[in-house]
């Protein structure tokens, strides 16, 4: 793992320049280390670490990053990807003020004789789209500046946005990429809604999303995207606007109408007449030319024949593959590098894989990484299977592997956004969407939620004290909500509260608090896995070989049991098949303790299909460590290892 690096960022020089509170130019970023944690390479095609061959990117695996995309983009800039990305598609938060959730339920419960809805695990927050004041604009500004650095000279960027923020984001993109590089504002149809109230409506339902299309250079050219729109043969008038002497002549006894001329020269017109492509109108005698029958027309900026959203993965804000196919085919070529740093359900990466492009994907949400990884494993195995059956594939894949990296050691046992939401609900906090510092109120007190990926420290409290200094008229006390705290915190608080008649600080530590602590006692999932070597031979004459037999004998997720509001014996009695709780099973037959190389992936095709739980794999020569990774329906991972 390399040390952190400083990466310089060029100044944004475009116009117009949008201003907001707290706007800061981004002239450098810090690139933190990236840790390789997982690799999917079913054909063993990966010849080296992905850090190599960055100049041309040929031969390197596709990349999936777990971490804040600002850190991911900084890492890419520091490791040779500047100017190497051909197309960027991002579907960032829309500043909608909403929590985005996915519905989660057990697998195969209907086949066990139970109603699926009765065993729903409810909603799981994937990300929170709530921003204070102008933080959203700064967030987008910084990431667009980084993305410009990564974009190739002839490259394009597409930003998927809604009506509430499209004008702000366009102004920022004009500044970052230059107004001359604005190409189009494309409208894509949304799912039709019909909400009404007896008293009337405050506004019309939104009918479309917006795709802001920019280039890096004014000289780059798109491939015209086609739309299926069959038309029969038809005839059209031969005159055109303006007066041009060389195109003004008598044709079929007619001169061009005032202020107009013919579309072609006399020589070209004679040739068209010979080919029966030009004639006098049977009724009026005016010249008209033939337009042949056609099945397709070139698309304009109104994409009303497709919808922006899809619902195949259960992930909120999932986008439709058909829309991404049009974008990729219009603005990239096979083997080009496609980047999506808000990958969500993985649609951009899935389409890039399908169309023979290389892809780089990132997301801060672990649920998005797991959804994308599962989806791409399925896609790659389908491509391999199709190639083996037919000997060829419609599109040659650029790579049949990908690697998963964690940037800046970003990882958590439970999803941070979901944990925050549960804490807010449990404690009874009223969320504030307009305060840049405080998260909400609890009665008459302010609430500050310290990020759950680190314990409360005196530095966090000092920042709180500094905030009060900047608000001399604020007299309310504050409640600090945290997950763990350093030993020095109690002494700091005692001294601080002695000296303060107002703005006193109380701490709710969610692991130990007498009122709320039990809620956040996290019991990890557990699995019983048997791994052993066995001899095997195909026929009497074949050589004897060894196989690894992996048998998952049992699995239990206390979090799932708790969500269903059952005790464990009742749960196991009603749902005796542990596989109902499991989303994916991965096996590494030669685990080195650091990188999980996926030898086998059991990804059920349908939502109600179950994993197998029994696997036989080719055994490596000599002693080996077998690792089995089980991912439950809530995204929690369990890793079991065995030496055989």
DSSP secondary structure, 314-339, as one string: --TT-B-HHHHHHHHHHH--TT-EEE
Task: Please tell me whether residue 201 adopts helix, strand or coil conformation.
Answer: coil
Higher pLDDT, 46 or 612: 612
Crossing angle (nearest 10°) for helices 135-150 and 69-78 = 20
CATH code at 526-643: 2.60.40
Does 30 or 533 have the greater pLDDT score? 533
Residue 532 has pLDDT above 70, yes or no: yes
Choose between 575 and 502: higher pLDDT: 502
Residue 130: exposed, middle, or buried by beta-carbon count in 10 A (0-12, 13-18, 19+)?
A: middle
Q: Indicate whether 51 pLDDT > 50.
A: no
63-95+131-225+302-401 belongs to CATH 3.40.50.150? yes
pLDDT, position 120? 55
Closest CA to 124 of 633, 637, 498: 633
DSSP H or E run through 234: strand 234-237
pLDDT at site 420: 76
For residue 313, the model assigns a pLDDT of 67
ω into 598 cis (within 30 of 0) = no
Among all chains, which residue has been given the structure tokens 């019991």? 523
Residue 314 has a pLDDT of 65
Residues in the chain: 644
Using an 8 Å Cβ cutoff, are 154 and 217 in contact? yes
User: Is pLDDT larger for residue 502 or for residue 33?
Assistant: 502
Residue 50: its pLDDT value, please?
40
Which is higher by pLDDT, 405 or 409? 405
pLDDT for 480 beyond 90: yes
Query: 47 pLDDT band (50/70/90 cuts)?
Result: very low
pLDDT digits (tens, 9 = 90+) for 310-348: 777 666 678 899 999 999 999 999 999 999 999 988 999
Weakest-pLDDT range from 76-80, 94-98, 452-456, 617-621: 94-98
Residue matched to tokens 């896609």: 379
**Both structure tokens of 371:** 């959804």
The pLDDT, as a whole number, for residue 190 is 86
- 65: tokens are 């990053």
Whether residue 431 has pLDDT greater than 70: yes
Burial class (CB in 10 A: 0-12, 13-18, 19+), 293: exposed
Residue 67, pLDDT above cutoff 90: no
What are the C-alpha distances in Å from 447 to residues 481, 530, 537? 7, 48, 66
Instruction: With cut-offs at 50, 70 and 90, classify the pLDDT of residue 145.
Output: very high
pLDDT at 48: 40
State the pLDDT confidence band at 1, using cuts at 50, 70 and 90. very low
For 97-119, write each residue's pLDDT tens digit.
Answer: 554 445 667 887 653 333 333 34
In whole angstroms, give the CA distance from residue 212 to residue 295: 28
Higher pLDDT: 635 or 52? It is: 635
Write the burial class of residue 133 (CB in 10 Å: 0-12 exposed, 13-18 middle, 19+ buried).
middle
Percentage of the chain surpassing pLDDT 70? 84
Question: Using CA atoms, how far apart are residues 382 and 374, in angstroms rounded to an integer?
Answer: 13
Local structure of 534: helix, strand or coil: strand
State both tokens at 188: 């894509």
- Name the token pair of 275: 């080919």
CA of residue 477 relative to chain centroid, distance: 39
* 193-207, 359-373, 520-534: segment of lowest average pLDDT: 193-207
Residue 20 pLDDT grade (very low, low, confident, very high; cuts 50, 70, 90): confident
Residue scoring higher pLDDT (111 or 288):
288
Q: What percent of the chain has pLDDT over 90?
A: 52
Of 70-84, 189-203, 489-503, the least confident: 189-203
Residues near 535 by Cβ (< 8 Å), separated by ≥ 6?
544, 545, 546, 547
- Residue 544 CA to residue 535 CA, distance in Å, equals 6
User: Tokens in use for 332?
Assistant: 């990239």
Place of tokens 């066990």: 112
Q: CB–CB of 403/50 below 8 Å?
A: yes
pLDDT score of 283: 95
Return the sign of the alpha-carbon dihedral for residues 453, 457, 459, 462. positive
Helices (H), 400-534: 416-427, 458-469, 488-499
> Across residues 201-217, what is the average pLDDT?
90
As a whole number of angstroms, the distance between CA 29 and CA 11 comes to 13
Check residue 446 and give its pLDDT.
Answer: 96
Specify the pLDDT at position 114: 36
Model confidence band, residue 430 (pLDDT cutoffs 50, 70, 90): very high
Residue tagged 């009497």 (tokens):
540
The CA distance from 432 to 426, in Å, is 16
Mean pLDDT in residue range 416-441: 81
Q: What is the mean pLDDT of residues 188-195?
A: 77
Which DSSP category does 171 fall into? H
Bridge partners of residue 405, in order along the sequence: 36, 65
pLDDT for 636 equals 84
Q: What is the pLDDT of residue 537?
A: 60
For range 270-286, the mean pLDDT: 97
For 329, list phi and psi in degrees, rounded to 5: -70, -30
Q: What is the mean pLDDT of the chain?
A: 85
| Beta-carbon count within 10 A of 268 CB | 13
Averaged pLDDT for residues 545-570: 83
| 481 Ramachandran zone, left/alpha/beta (phi>0; psi -120 to 50) | beta
Res 418: pLDDT: 62
Within 10 angstroms of residue 213's Cβ, the number of other Cβ atoms is 21
Q: Among 138-152, 313-327, 528-542, where is mean pLDDT lowest?
A: 528-542
- Rounded to an integer, the average pLDDT of 300-309 is 91
Q: Is the pLDDT of residue 90 over 90?
A: yes
177, 157 in Cβ contact below 8 A?
yes
The two structure tokens encoding residue 183: 């190409």
pLDDT band at 414 (very low <50, low <70, confident <90, very high): very low
490-517 mean pLDDT? 87
Which residue shows structure tokens 């729903």? 120
554: pLDDT strictly greater than 70: yes
Q: Edge-to-edge, what's the strand order for the sheet holding 302-307?
A: 302-307, 182-189, 208-215, 151-161, 85-90, 337-340, 358-363, 62-66, 402-407, 34-40, 596-598
Worst-scoring range by mean pLDDT, 241-255, 385-399, 483-497, 625-639? 385-399
Q: Rounded CA gap, 202 and 185, in Å?
A: 26
Q: Is the pLDDT of residue 248 over 70?
A: yes
Which residue is associated with the tokens 């033939």? 290
């Amino acid at each position: 793992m390399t040390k952190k690096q400083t990466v310089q960022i060029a100044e944004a020089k475009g116009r117009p320049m949008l201003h907001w509170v707290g706007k800061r130019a981004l002239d450098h970023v810090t690139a933190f280390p990236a840790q390789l944690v997982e690799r999917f390479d079913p054909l063993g095609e990966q010849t080296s670490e992905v850090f190599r061959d960055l100049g041309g990117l040929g031969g390197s695996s596709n990349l999936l990053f777990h971490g804040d995309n600002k850190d991911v983009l900084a890492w890419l800039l520091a490791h040779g990807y500047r100017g190497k990305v051909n197309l960027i598609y991002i579907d960032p938060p829309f500043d909608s003020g909403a929590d985005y959730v996915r519905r989660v339920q057990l697998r195969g419960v209907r086949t066990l004789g139970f109603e699926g809805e009765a065993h729903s695990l409810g909603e799981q927050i994937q990300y929170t789209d709530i921003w204070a004041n102008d933080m959203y604009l700064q967030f987008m500004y910084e990431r667009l500046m980084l993305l410009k650095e990564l974009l190739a000279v002839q490259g394009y960027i597409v930003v998927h946005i809604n009506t509430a923020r499209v004008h702000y984001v366009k102004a920022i993109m004009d500044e970052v990429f230059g107004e001359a590089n604005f190409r189009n504002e494309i409208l894509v149809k949304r799912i039709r809604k019909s909400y009404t109230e007896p008293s009337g409506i405050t506004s019309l339902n939104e009918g479309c999303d917006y795709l802001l299309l920019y280039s890096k250079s004014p000289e780059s050219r798109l491939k015209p995207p086609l739309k299926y729109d069959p038309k029969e043969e038809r005839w059209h008038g031969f005159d055109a606007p303006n007066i041009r002497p060389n195109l003004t002549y008598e044709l079929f006894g007619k001169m061009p109408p005032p202020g107009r001329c013919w579309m072609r020269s006399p020589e070209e017109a004679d040739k068209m007449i010979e080919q029966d492509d030009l004639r006098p109108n049977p009724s009026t005698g005016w010249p008209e030319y033939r337009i042949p029958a056609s099945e397709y027309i070139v698309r304009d900026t109104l994409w009303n024949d497709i919808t922006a959203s899809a619902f195949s993965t259960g992930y909120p804000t999932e986008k439709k593959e058909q829309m991404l196919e049009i974008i990729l085919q219009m603005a990239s070529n096979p083997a080009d590098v496609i980047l999506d740093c808000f990958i969500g359900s993985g649609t951009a990466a899935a389409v890039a894989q399908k169309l023979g492009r290389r892809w780089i994907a990132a997301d801060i949400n672990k649920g998005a990484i797991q959804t994308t990884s599962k989806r791409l494993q399925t896609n790659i195995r389908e491509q391999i299977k199709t190639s083996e059956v037919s000997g060829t594939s419609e599109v040659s894949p650029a790579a049949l592997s990908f690697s998963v990296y964690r940037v800046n050691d970003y990882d958590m046992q439970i999803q941070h956004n979901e944990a925050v939401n549960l804490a807010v609900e449990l404690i009874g906090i009223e969320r504030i969407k307009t305060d840049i510092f405080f998260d909400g109120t609890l009665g008459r007190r302010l609430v500050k939620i310290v990020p759950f990926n680190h314990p409360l420290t005196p530095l966090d409290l000092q920042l709180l004290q500094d905030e009060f200094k900047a608000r001399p008229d604020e007299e309310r006390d504050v409640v600090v909500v945290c997950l763990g705290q350093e030993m020095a915190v109690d002494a700091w608080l005692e001294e601080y509260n002695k000296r303060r008649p107002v703005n006193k600080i109380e701490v709710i530590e969610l692991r130990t608090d007498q009122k709320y602590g039990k809620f956040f006692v996290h019991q990890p999932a557990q699995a019983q896995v048997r791994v052993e070597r066995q001899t095997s031979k195909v026929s009497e004459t074949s050589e004897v070989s060894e196989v690894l037999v992996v048998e998952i004998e049992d699995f239990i997720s206390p979090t799932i049991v708790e969500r269903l509001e059952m005790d464990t014996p009742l749960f196991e009695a009603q749902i005796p098949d542990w596989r109902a709780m499991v989303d994916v099973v991965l096996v590494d037959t030669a685990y080195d303790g650091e990188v999980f190389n996926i030898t086998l992936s059991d990804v059920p095709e349908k939502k109600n299909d179950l994993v197998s739980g029994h696997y036989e794999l080719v055994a490596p020569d000599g002693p080996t460590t077998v690792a089995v990774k089980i991912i439950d329906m809530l995204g929690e991972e369990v890793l079991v290892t065995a030496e055989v």
